[in-house]
RNA sequence: GGCCCGUUGGUCAAGCGGCUAAGACGCAGCCCUCUCAAGGCUGAAUCAUGGGUUCGAUUCCCGUACGGGUCACCA
C-alpha cells in the first residue's frame, strides 16, 4: 500500500486537480486589480458586521477595477437556516452592493468560477484532499468522539496545549496498511492535515490591517474533510480562494489566529497565498465592557433593524465607511455629491481595534443624507418605508401626492437644507399636523406660551385673518404684516426692542407669531410658518383659527 | 491558562521623536432668528500605568493593568 493507493481507496471517484486548475484559469485583470469576496454562512439574519465586511471588500475591489464576489459558506448543514442565502442576497441588493459574481438568488449565480456555494463544491474539495493524501500530506483519522474527549481531558490535566498534534496525534503514524485495513473494515474516519509545523518556530505574517504579527507555527493536524464528506472552513478557504483567484481575504479578525494554519495549507497545496486583511468587529458598550455586537442580545446587530427604523441604506453605508476610514468624513464634507466609490479607500488605514457602535452618530449621518434628497425622493423613500411599516403614514402620503410633495419641499433644496428628518419613522410626527383629518382628530393642546389671555389670542387670530393675511404676499411683506399687527396690538415689533426694554411691552412679535403658529399647527415649533401658511391656504387657516378659538 | 492583538476627550478618531495634541458626533454657552431644525462662533473634555532609550517621548523598547480574539468533525 502506498499513498496513491490509499488516496484511491478513500476518494476513488475524485478527479485529478489538474482538471480544476485548468477549469478555473487565472483571472485576466489589469495590473493591481484586487479580487475580494464576502463569504458568509447562511446561519442567521444578515449581521451589521457582515455588511461592514462586505462594504469594505467591495469598496476595495471597485476602487481597483477588480472583482467582488459572494460565496456562500454552507458546509455546516446543522447550523444552516431557511432563507439564509436569500436574506444575504437581498441585503446586499438593498444596500446597492450586489456582487459582480456569485449567488444572486438562493439558487442562481453568475460568474465563471462557481459554484459559489460550498455545499455544491464537494467534488472539488475531495479532489484536493485526495491530492494531499497522495502527497502524504493528509491522512485518515479514526479517532472517535470519546477518544478525542479523553485526549482533551488528559491534556487539560497535564496542563499542556489541547488539540490533535505531535504525540497526541494517535492515528497520524499508523502504517498505510493499517489505515487501509480499517477503512476496508468500515471503521468511520475523517481526513486530517498532516502538519509539518513546529510550535517552537515562528512564522511571520504581515496583515494589511493589523501589521506585522508573528505566530508560532501551526502543528495541529486539523480536520480537512469531515465525516459528511464536506470540508472544514480552513480547507475550503484555501481551495476556494485559490481557485477563485481571491487576492485579498478581507474577513473578521476572529480569524487572525488561524493565519498560520491557512498559510501552511496554501503552502502545502502549492498555492500562492492571498493577502489578509483582518477587520476589527463593531463593538457595543455593555455595562462598561466592550463586546461584539451580538446577534442574540442586540437588535442593532441585524441589518434589518435599520430598515425598520427607516434609516436609508445609503446612510448606514456612509456611517460604516466612516468607521472604516475616518478620513471619509472630511472627504464627504468636501465632496458632498460624489458617489462613495470615488472615495480613495485605504485598507491599511482601518482601525486596529474595534469601534463602538454609535447610534447617535449614525442618525446624524442619516440626517445629512436625507437633507440632500429632493422632495420627490423623500416622498418616494418614505412612502416605500411606510408601505412596509406604517400604513397610516402611507395613506397620508398617498391621499394627496402633490400636497405631500409641497410639505417635503419646505426649506429643502437650498444650500442649507432643512435637517429635521433622521429616519423615515420620524416623518409622520414631522408632517402630521399638515393633514386636516389627522390634525382635527387629534386633541390639540393649545399652549400659547407668553400670551395666555383668551381675548387677546382671539383678537390676534381674528385681526390677522381678516385684515392681514394675503396668500399672494412675498415673505418679507408677510412678515412685516405680522410686525405691524404686533405693533398695533401693543407688542414690540422687534425682538431687540423688547429685550432692551422688556417692561414696556406685554410681549414681542415672536409671541404674536407663536399664537398664530400654535393655532395653526397645534405646536410651538414648526418649520417656516410662511411656507406652511402658503401650503395650507387661507380657507383652511381660517378654519383652524376658528377651531382654536373654541378651545 | 497558552498563543495573538489592542489601549489618544463620553463616542469615532488624526498623529507616526520636538505640535498650544487636528477634525466629527454628543454636551454647554453665545450669535443669527417669528419658533424649531439648521448655520456661525466659543467652550469644557483625551495620550491606561510604571520603568527605560533619548537633549526631548502620545510616538521607540520592556513590564503591569485593563479590554478583545482564539484554542471544534462551527464558521
Q: What's the pLDDT band for A362 if we cut at 50, 70, 90? A: very high
Is the model's pLDDT at A289 over the cut of 80?
no
Long-range contacts of A336-341 (CB under 8 A, 24+ apart): A336/A372, A337/A372, A340/A59, A341/A59, A341/A62, A341/A63
Instruction: Output A422 or A293, whichever has higher pLDDT.
Output: A422
Is the model's pLDDT at A456 over the cut of 90?
no
Helix (H) or strand (E) holding A37: strand A35-38
Residue A163 has what pLDDT? 94
A477 touches strand B (CB under 7 A): no
Average pLDDT over residues A447-474: 87
Is the model's pLDDT at A196 over the cut of 80?
yes
Instruction: Output A444 or A471, whichever has higher pLDDT.
Output: A471
Axis crossing angle, helix A48-63 with helix A313-324, rounded to the nearest 10: 80
Burial class of residue A475, CB neighbours in 10 A (0-12, 13-18, 19+): exposed
A447 touches strand B (CB under 7 A): no
The CA-CA-CA angle for residues A141, A144, A145, to 5°, reads 125
Residues A128, A20: Cα–Cα separation, whole Å = 9
CA of A330 to C1' of B19 (A): 21
Beta bridge partners of A204: A214
A348 touches strand B (CB under 7 A): no
A164 touches strand B (CB under 7 A): yes
- Which three-class secondary structure state does DSSP give residue A289? strand
Residues A189, A179: Cα–Cα separation, whole Å = 10
A120-134, A328-342, A439-453, A533-547: the lowest-pLDDT one = A439-453
CA of A280 to C1' of B27 (A): 29
ipTM score of complex: 0.94
Residue A262 has what pLDDT? 97
CA of A328 to C1' of B17 (A): 28
Handedness of CA A156, A160, A162, A167 (dihedral sign): negative
Which residues of A in 284-323 have their CB below 7 Å from strand B's atoms? 285, 289-292, 322-323
CA of A443 to C1' of B10 (A): 40
Average pLDDT over residues A129-135: 96
Average pLDDT over residues A84-107: 95
Residue A452 has what pLDDT? 79
Beta bridge partners of A101: A69
Q: What are the tens digits of pLDDT across the range A224-247?
A: 999 999 999 999 999 999 999 999
CA of A35 to C1' of B44 (A): 47
Residue A210 has what pLDDT? 92
CA of A196 to C1' of B2 (A): 20
Residue A504 has what pLDDT? 84
CA of A357 to C1' of B25 (A): 12
Of A319, A343, A341, A320, which Cα lies nearest the Cα of A331?
A: A343
Beta bridge partners of A286: A289
Percent of chain A, pLDDT > 90?
77
Q: What's the pLDDT band for A102 if we cut at 50, 70, 90? A: very high
Residue A442 neighbours by CB under 8 Å, 6+ apart = A432, A522
The four Cα atoms A247, A250, A255, A260 give a dihedral, to 10 degrees, of 20
Q: How far are the Cα atoms of A130, A323, A345 from residue A278, in angstroms, in the given order?
A: 30, 15, 16
Residues A186, A324: Cα–Cα separation, whole Å = 52
CA of A68 to C1' of B15 (A): 33
Burial class of residue A50, CB neighbours in 10 A (0-12, 13-18, 19+): buried
A450 touches strand B (CB under 7 A): no
Note the pTM of the prediction, 2 decimals: 0.93
| Cell triple for A232 | 472544514
Which residues of A in 192-251 have their CB below 7 Å from strand B's atoms? 210-211, 213-216, 222-223, 226-228, 230, 232-233
Q: What's the pLDDT band for A453 if we cut at 50, 70, 90? A: confident
Kindly calculate the radius of gyration of chain A based on its CA atoms and give it in whole angstroms.
33
Q: What are the tens digits of pLDDT across the range A64-90?
A: 999 999 999 999 989 999 999 999 999
Is the model's pLDDT at A382 over the cut of 80?
yes
Q: What's the pLDDT band for A154 if we cut at 50, 70, 90? A: very high
Which residues of A in 248-277 have their CB below 7 Å from strand B's atoms? 253-258
A351 touches strand B (CB under 7 A): yes
Instruction: Output A551 or A73, whichever has higher pLDDT.
Output: A73
Residue A503 has what pLDDT? 83
Q: What's the pLDDT band for A132 if we cut at 50, 70, 90? A: very high
Which residues of A in 22-81 have their CB below 7 Å from strand B's atoms? 39-41, 43, 73, 75-76, 79
CA of A139 to C1' of B58 (A): 52
Residue A497 has what pLDDT? 84
Percent of chain A, pLDDT > 70?
100
Nucleotides of B under 7 A from a protein CB: 1-8, 10-14, 22-26, 33-39, 67-75
β-pairing verdict for A67-70 and A35-38: parallel
Supply the mean pLDDT for chain A.
93
Residues A469, A471: Cα–Cα separation, whole Å = 7
CA of A344 to C1' of B21 (A): 26
A481 touches strand B (CB under 7 A): no
A120 touches strand B (CB under 7 A): no
- Which three-class secondary structure state does DSSP give residue A67? strand
- Which three-class secondary structure state does DSSP give residue A191? strand
Handedness of CA A394, A400, A404, A407 (dihedral sign): negative
Residues A393, A415: Cα–Cα separation, whole Å = 28
- Which three-class secondary structure state does DSSP give residue A345? coil
For A306: left if phi > 0, alpha if psi spans -120 to 50, otherwise beta; the answer is alpha
Amino acid at each position: 500500500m502506498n499513498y496513491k493507493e490509499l488516496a484511491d481507496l478513500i476518494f476513488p471517484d475524485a478527479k485529478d486537480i489538474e482538471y480544476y486548475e485548468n477549469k478555473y484559469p487565472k483571472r485576466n485583470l489589469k495590473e493591481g486589480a484586487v479580487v475580494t469576496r464576502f463569504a458568509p454562512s447562511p446561519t442567521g439574519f444578515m449581521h451589521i458586521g457582515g455588511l461592514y465586511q462586505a462594504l469594505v471588500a467591495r469598496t476595495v475591489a471597485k476602487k481597483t477595477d477588480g472583482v467582488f464576489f459572494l460565496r456562500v459558506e454552507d458546509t455546516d448543514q446543522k447550523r444552516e437556516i431557511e432563507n439564509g442565502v436569500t436574506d444575504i442576497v437581498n441585503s446586499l441588493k438593498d444596500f446597492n452592493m450586489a456582487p459582480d459574481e456569485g449567488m444572486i438568488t438562493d439558487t442562481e449565480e453568475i460568474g465563471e468560477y462557481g459554484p459559489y456555494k460550498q455545499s455544491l463544491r464537494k467534488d472539488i474539495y475531495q479532489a484536493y484532499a485526495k491530492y494531499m493524501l497522495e502527497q502524504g500530506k493528509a491522512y485518515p483519522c479514526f479517532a472517535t468522539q470519546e477518544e478525542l474527549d479523553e485526549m482533551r481531558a488528559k491534556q487539560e490535566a497535564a496542563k499542556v496545549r489541547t488539540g490533535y498534534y505531535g504525540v497526541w496525534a494517535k492515528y497520524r503514524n499508523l502504517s498505510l496498511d493499517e489505515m487501509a485495513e480499517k477503512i476496508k473494515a468500515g471503521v468511520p474516519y475523517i481526513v486530517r492535515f498532516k502538519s509539518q509545523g513546529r510550535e517552537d518556530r515562528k512564522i511571520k505574517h504581515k496583515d494589511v490591517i493589523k501589521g506585522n504579527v508573528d505566530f508560532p507555527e501551526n502543528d495541529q493536524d486539523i480536520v480537512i474533510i469531515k465525516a459528511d464528506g464536506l470540508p472544514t472552513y480552513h480547507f475550503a478557504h484555501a481551495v476556494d480562494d485559490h481557485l477563485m483567484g481571491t487576492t485579498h481575504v478581507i474577513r473578521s479578525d476572529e480569524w487572525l489566529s488561524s493565519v498560520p494554519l491557512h498559510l501552511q495549507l496554501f503552502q502545502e497545496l502549492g498555492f500562492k497565498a492571498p493577502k489578509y486583511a483582518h477587520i476589527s468587529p463593531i463593538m457595543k458598550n455593555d455595562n462598561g465592557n466592550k463586546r461584539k455586537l451580538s446577534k442574540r442580545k442586540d437588535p442593532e446587530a441585524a441589518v434589518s433593524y435599520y430598515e425598520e427604523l427607516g434609516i436609508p441604506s445609503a446612510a448606514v453605508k456612509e456611517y460604516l465607511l466612516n468607521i472604516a476610514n475616518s478620513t471619509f468624513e472630511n472627504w464627504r464634507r468636501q465632496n458632498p455629491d460624489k458617489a462613495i466609490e470615488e472615495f480613495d479607500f485605504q485598507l491599511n488605514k482601518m482601525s486596529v481595534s474595534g469601534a463602538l457602535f454609535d447610534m447617535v452618530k449614525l442618525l446624524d449621518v442619516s440626517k445629512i443624507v436625507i437633507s440632500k434628497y429632493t422632495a420627490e425622493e423623500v416622498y418616494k423613500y418614505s412612502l416605500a418605508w411606510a408601505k412596509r411599516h406604517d400604513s397610516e403614514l402611507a395613506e397620508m402620503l398617498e391621499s394627496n401626492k402633490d400636497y405631500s410633495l409641497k410639505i417635503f419641499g419646505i426649506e429643502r433644496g437650498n444650500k442649507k437644507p432643512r435637517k429635521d428628518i433622521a429616519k423615515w419613522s420620524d416623518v409622520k410626527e414631522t408632517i402630521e399636523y399638515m393633514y386636516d383629518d389627522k390634525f382635527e382628530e387629534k386633541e390639540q393642546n393649545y399652549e400659547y406660551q407668553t400670551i395666555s389671555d383668551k381675548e387677546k389670542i382671539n383678537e390676534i387670530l381674528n385681526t390677522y385673518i381678516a385684515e392681514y393675511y394675503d396668500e399672494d404676499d412675498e415673505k418679507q411683506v408677510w412678515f412685516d404684516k405680522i410686525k405691524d399687527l404686533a405693533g398695533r396690538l401693543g407688542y414690540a415689533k422687534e425682538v431687540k426692542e423688547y429685550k432692551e426694554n422688556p417692561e414696556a411691552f406685554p410681549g414681542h412679535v415672536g409671541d404674536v407669531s407663536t399664537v398664530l403658529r400654535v393655532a395653526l399647527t397645534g405646536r410651538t415649533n414648526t418649520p417656516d410658518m410662511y411656507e406652511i401658511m402658503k401650503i395650507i391656504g387661507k380657507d383652511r387657516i381660517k378654519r383652524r383659527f376658528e377651531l382654536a378659538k373654541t378651545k
